[in-house]
């Protein structure tokens, strides 16, 4: 399998898109550190599923907005599995609110988890990857990293920031054999948008204008792109932002 012998950290691997990425990289042969923030039992469940399917995985817990947690997580994964070959910065929060309702705490949470966490997780694993002269980092951004939203300035800023972080880290880490890329999902059916999906008539309105006639993706629609980018097939792909969004940002 194409990821045999590789060790991958998937932040936010306990639910939604991250759980799908964890399962997919495990199916491709990687050993997975499934990371949750609060709900450790969900990381245990995803890791348990992977092990039951014949793969290798273990649950971990960290708040990626805290630099000390990023460093501790990287050290725990190295202690458990010997190295880190792949980092998927997937943990994220989304508070789609207008300016008036965006408090300092909500601004900080989105910037600190989505953007600051991606940088400090990369910083925490970089020494291991540099020492080996290889590694793959994928940042999970969003369509809202390339187009705006009238109720989501903090989220858009965090996701747009992750996009440029991908390029900047690519320049810094590329000479050490570390590929840095980003995947930008469109609307994907997860807990993150349960309230939005519950709005009557919204799905129909969005589908009426969706380029492929489908608005919502499933987490598995996203994980294949990540599996490609962390594989050797993508060794020449660097600093790229691959949109997986049913064409949403094509117009």
Ligand X SMILES: NC(=O)c1ccc[n+]([C@@H]2O[C@H](COP(=O)([O-])OP(=O)(O)OC[C@H]3O[C@@H](n4cnc5c(N)ncnc54)[C@H](OP(=O)(O)O)[C@@H]3O)[C@@H](O)[C@H]2O)c1
Distance of CA 13 to the CA centre of its chain: 8
The answer to whether the beta carbons of residues 162 and 137 sit under 8 Å apart is no
Strand 56-61, strand 86-89: pairing: unpaired
Nearer to ligand X, 46 or 128 (CB): 46
Window of 99-107, 167-175, 185-193, 225-233 that interacts with ligand X by CB under 6 A: 185-193
Q: Provide the minimum distance between the beta carbon of 1 and ligand X in the complex, in angstroms, as a whole number.
A: 24
- Is residue 68 near ligand X by the rule CB under 6 A? no
Nearer to ligand X, 157 or 192 (CB): 192
Question: In the annotation, is 228 catalytic?
Answer: no
- Is residue 90 near ligand X by the rule CB under 6 A? yes
Cα separation, 157 vs 69, whole angstroms: 23
- Is residue 188 near ligand X by the rule CB under 6 A? yes
How many alpha carbons fall within 13 Å on the CB side of residue 143?
A: 17
Among 6, 7, 12, 181, binds ligand X (CB under 6 A): 12
Q: What is the SS3 assignment for 225-245?
A: HHHHHCCHHHCCCCCCEEEEC
Interacting positions 124-143 with ligand X (CB under 6 A):
140, 142
Distance of CA 24 to the CA centre of its chain: 13
- Is residue 11 near ligand X by the rule CB under 6 A? yes
| Contacting residues toward ligand X, per CB under 6 A | 11-12, 14-18, 36-39, 42, 62-65, 90-94, 113-114, 140, 142, 185, 187-188, 190-193
């Amino acid at each position: 399998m194409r990821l045999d012998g590789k060790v991958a950290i998937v932040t936010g691997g306990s639910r939604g898109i991250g759980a799908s990425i964890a399962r997919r990289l495990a199916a491709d042969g990687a050993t997975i550190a499934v990371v949750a923030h609060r709900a450790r039992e969900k990381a245990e469940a995803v890791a348990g599923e992977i092990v039951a399917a014949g793969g290798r995985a273990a649950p971990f817990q960290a708040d990626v907005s805290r630099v000390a947690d990023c460093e501790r997580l990287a050290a725990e994964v190295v202690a458990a599995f010997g190295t880190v070959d792949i980092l998927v910065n997937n943990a994220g929060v989304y508070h789609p609110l207008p300016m008036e309702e965006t408090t300092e705490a909500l601004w900080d949470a989105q910037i600190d988890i989505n953007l600051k966490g991606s940088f400090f997780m990369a910083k925490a694993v970089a020494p291991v990857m540099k020492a080996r002269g290889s590694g793959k980092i994928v940042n999970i951004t969003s369509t809202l990293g390339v187009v705006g939203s009238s109720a989501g300035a903090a989220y858009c800023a965090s996701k747009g920031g992750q996009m440029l972080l991908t390029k900047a880290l690519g320049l810094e880490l590329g000479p050490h054999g570390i590929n840095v890329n980003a995947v930008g999902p469109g609307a994907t059916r997860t807990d993150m948008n349960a309230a939005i999906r519950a709005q009557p008539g919204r799905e129909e309105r969005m589908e009426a204008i969706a380029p492929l006639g489908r608005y919502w993706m499933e987490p598995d629609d996203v994980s294949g792109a990540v599996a490609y980018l962390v594989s050797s097939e993508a060794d020449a792909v660097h600093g790229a932002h691959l949109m997986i969004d049913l064409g949403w940002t094509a117009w």
